[in-house]
């Protein structure tokens, strides 16, 4: 079993987590893990959608031949 810890959330958030977990036949811990993964993916998407820096543009424009 993996090591665990406690995360404090307000009652409404806890109730929503329980509802989401129940709908997905999952545990609250698995639901929180999925939410964290989704937030990380969203953050990566925002980063990738951002403007390229000079060094990134130079790398993409480099002559490979």
Q: CB–CB of 27/21 below 8 Å?
A: yes
Tens digits of residue pLDDT in 14-23: 999 999 999 9
Tens digits of residue pLDDT in 10-57: 999 999 999 999 999 999 999 999 999 999 999 999 998 999 899 988
Does residue 48 belong to any structural domain of this protein? yes
Domain assignment of residue 40, given as a range: 11-61
Q: How far is CA 60 from CA 28, 48, 55, in A?
A: 43, 14, 9
Does residue 6 belong to any structural domain of this protein? no
| pLDDT given at position 64 | 82
Does residue 23 belong to any structural domain of this protein? yes
Does residue 5 belong to any structural domain of this protein? no
- Rounded Cα distance between 17 and 44, Å, is 24
Number of domains into which the chain is organized: 1
Q: pTM here?
A: 0.72
Cβ neighbors of 4 (< 8 A, separation 6 or more) are: 29
């Amino acid at each position: 079993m993996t090591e665990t810890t406690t995360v404090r959330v307000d009652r409404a958030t806890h109730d929503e987590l329980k509802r989401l977990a129940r709908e997905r036949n999952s545990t609250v811990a698995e639901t929180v893990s999925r939410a964290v993964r989704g937030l990380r993916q969203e953050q990566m998407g925002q980063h990738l959608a951002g403007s390229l820096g000079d060094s990134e543009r130079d790398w993409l424009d480099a002559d490979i031949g």
